[in-house]
Structure 1
Amino acid sequence: MKHHDLGIIEGDVLLFGGPYSNQQALDALFARAGEAGISPERMICTGDVVAYCGAAVGCVEAVRASGCAVVAGNCEKQLAADADDCGCGFEEGSTCDRLSVAWYDFARNALDQDARAWMGDLPDIVSFTHHGKRYGVVHGGVTDVAKFIWETDEEAVFAREWAALEAVAGPVDAVIAGHCGVPFLRHTARGAWMNAGVIGMPPHDGSAQTRFGVLSKGQLRVEHLIYDAKAAAQDMSAAGLPMDYARALESGYWPSEDILPEALRVAVSDRG
């Protein structure tokens, strides 16, 4: 596995996952970072720069131009290898599996070899020191880059992934992850496991606003990101993508709960 240590980072650190080919959300995030005085050297992306939405090329170009640190997500790994699917491990025939065929093929056809080479060179783990604590950053899990880890998981899941991370990167006081699309903070026996959410898709809560995190003096603050979701949906329509995820951008609800634990599912009657 590839590991890159960023050294000591002074000041607030902006953490974000899953731009998901959503150019409008990415632009809004960079604008928020500028307003907060957070330079790209203090920004870390937990991967999946491209996925569901319609601006794969633009998002890759913007992230690369920014110079922020990026951890390889399963989408980056699969695209770099020119694999046939996104590698999420969706159950065959499920809604997520069916829809992934379209958005993955779109991204696969849109990105050139230079973009793929950049993806293939990304680290699996990033580490850094902030306010005297050392952090490890991964995409999903260490044992499986596409592993969905939820706040509701058993302690053993976190212990196993923590040990796998430290076997590569050395001791850490906290872990930062992405992939699952839902932000959370879980206090484990080893320390805090943080997920700042993703910016490219809402966290299945009925709001179009997405999420990112700011690590300030050792504390994670999850922030709401307001952006032009309608324009992002229009990009998906123009790209000829299925509109299921485009509707999700505006409704705030995912087209399927296939991957969600039962405790995190939302009854249809509770959706506005």
Structure 2
Amino acid sequence: MDKKIKNIGRLQGKILLFGGVYSNLQALEAIQEMAKTENIAPENCICTGDSIGYCAQPEETLQAIKKWKIHSIAGNVEIQLNENAEDCGCDFSKGSRCDGFSQLWYPYAKSQLSNNSLDFIKTLPEFIQFEFVNKKFTVVHGSYFNTSEFIFKSTPWQNKLPNFKATNSDVIIAGHCGLPFTDSNEELLWLNPGVIGMPANNGNTAVWYMILEEKEEMLTFEHKKLTYNHILAGELMLKHSLPKEYAKTIVTGIWDNTEILPETEAKQQGKKIAF
């Protein structure tokens, strides 16, 4: 099957990167306000997918993204919703805690979405490509080959490199794994801005995004924290009988489990993230 790629051309000015909104309307509203304050135009805002997820306001979140008119790719959740699938397609191990929780939040999200939102999901590309500071960028969710592939900083470069070759890219921007990181190999860059819908397992309720800029004809990139009304987000999850373990993560900054994490990242639980 052909890949659905959207090329948005050559960008200029500040670029906002974020992903994993996970139906967290409060976090989305906070990053919208930040973009407005920083004068980042919607056409320079890019989401790495999974706008729908664990939190309580999937319909409101998707409609807000549509109204904002930013660029977004489809994450595995959007792809599954578009196909009317019965699971989130997150590639969780069968019978794991994450798999069990997904059997609560995914049917809830599916039940909340309007036909208008489902039609909007159909318009989302699998990948976005653009040029910036004389470099070619490709935005993927997990990887170019597998939307649900978990790629972390500790993932070997032999797993990352084929993505650059297949897309003829200098920079890959990815999401899905839930943790912000930057990894480089010679002239190639793998950037994960992190997610705004859930904290990064570091014991801090703030979430993560990334800003790209051109300074002195050079590409610069910076991971940034975002604070938002996480108390309300957690309360709404409990109100709608969504997994209380995820609601706890929202207010503690610690994941319920580290099932998806490689050993390197699992050992970083509760520790400050350094770049």
TM-score range, shorter chain: over 0.9
Matched, 1:102 2:104: yes
Distance 2:104 2:5 in 1: 32
For the 8 Å contact 2:202–2:269, the answer to whether it is kept is no
Q: Which of these residues, 153, 158, 161, is aligned with residue 159 of structure 1?
A: 161
Quote the offset at 1:132 in angstroms.
1.7
Paired positions, count: 266
Q: What runs of 5+ residues in structure 1 fail to find an aligned partner?
A: none
In structure 2, distance between residues paired with 1:10 and 1:267: 36
Paired with 1:9 and 1:128, the residues of 2 have a C-alpha distance of 7
Is the CA contact (8 Å cut-off) linking 2:18 and 2:46 kept in structure 1?
A: yes
Aligned to 2:221: 220
C-alpha contact (below 8 Å) 1:79/1:108 kept by paired residues: yes
State how far apart, in whole Å, the 2-side matches of 1:31 and 1:270 are.
Answer: 28
1:253 matched residue in structure 2: 254
Which secondary structure does the structure 2 equivalent of 1:63 belong to?
helix
**1:56 aligned partner, one-letter code:** P
| Distance in 2, Cα, partners of 1:145 & 1:189 | 25
Deviations for 1:187-208, whole angstroms, at most 9, x for unmatched residues? 0256001000000001100000
Aligned ranges 1:197-216 → 2 under 5 Å: 197-216=194-213
Tell me how far 1:270 sits from its aligned partner: 7.3
| TM-aligned CA deviation for residue 268 of structure 1 | 7.9
Question: What is the distance in 1 between the residues matched to 2:29 and 2:149?
Answer: 28
Q: Distance in 2 between matches of 1:140 and 1:125?
A: 11
Deviation at 1:266, TM superposition (A): 3.9
Q: Following the alignment from structure 1 to structure 2, what is the Cα–Cα distance between the partners of residues 50 and 42?
A: 21
Once residues 189 and 101 of structure 2 are traced to their aligned partners in structure 1, the CA distance between those partners, rounded to angstroms, is 33
SS in 2 for 1:175: strand
**Structure 1 pair 268/36, CA: closer, same or farther in 2 (3 Å)?**
closer
Distance 1:270 1:54, change over 3 A: same
- Aligned residue in 2 for 1:13: 15
8 Å CA contact 1:159, 1:190 repeated in 2: no
Deviates more, 1:4-13 or 1:186-195: 186-195
Q: Alignment partner for residue 172 of structure 1, among 162, 169, 189?
A: 169
- Residue of structure 2 equivalent to 1:264: 265
2:203–2:269 contact (8 Å) kept in structure 1:
no
* Identity, % of aligned positions: 35
Gaps of 5+ in 2: none
Q: CA separation in 1, counterparts of 2:126 and 2:268?
A: 36
Cα displacement string for residues 125-148 of structure 1 (whole angstroms, at most 9, x for unaligned residues): 101111221211111111110100
Per-residue deviation at 1:256?
Answer: 1.1
The DSSP-based 3-state class of the residue aligned with 1:14 is strand
Does the Cα contact within 8 Å between 1:173 and 1:190 map onto a contact in 2? yes
Among 46, 49, 60, which residue is 1:47 paired with? 49
Describe the SS at the equivalent of 1:31. Answer: helix
SS at 2:155 equivalent: coil
Cα RMSD, aligned residues only? 1.5
**Deviation of residue 92 (structure 1)?**
1.0
Residue 178 of structure 2 is matched in structure 1 by 181
Query: 3-state SS of the aligned residue for 2:223?
Result: strand
Query: Structure 1, residues 114-163: CA drift from partner, whole Å, max 9, x if none?
Result: 21222122111101111221211111111110100010011110012223
Question: Secondary structure of the equivalent of 2:39?
Answer: coil
Contact 2:81 2:118 in 1 (8 A): yes
Q: 1:148 aligns with which of 138, 150, 158?
A: 150
Q: Distance in 2 between matches of 1:13 and 1:269?
A: 29
For residue 93 of structure 1, report the CA deviation from its aligned partner.
1.0
Assess if the C-alpha contact under 8 Å between 1:129 and 1:135 holds in 2: yes
| C-alpha deviation, 1:183, in angstroms | 0.6
Distance in 2 between the 1:270 and 1:253 partners? Answer: 10
Deviations 1:207-229 (A, max 9, x none): 00000000111222100000011
Pair 1:232-2:228 in alignment: no
Partner of 2:5: 3
Sort the Cα spacing of 1:124 and 1:267 in 2 relative to 1 into closer, same or farther, 3 A. closer
* Local SS of the residue matching 2:67: helix
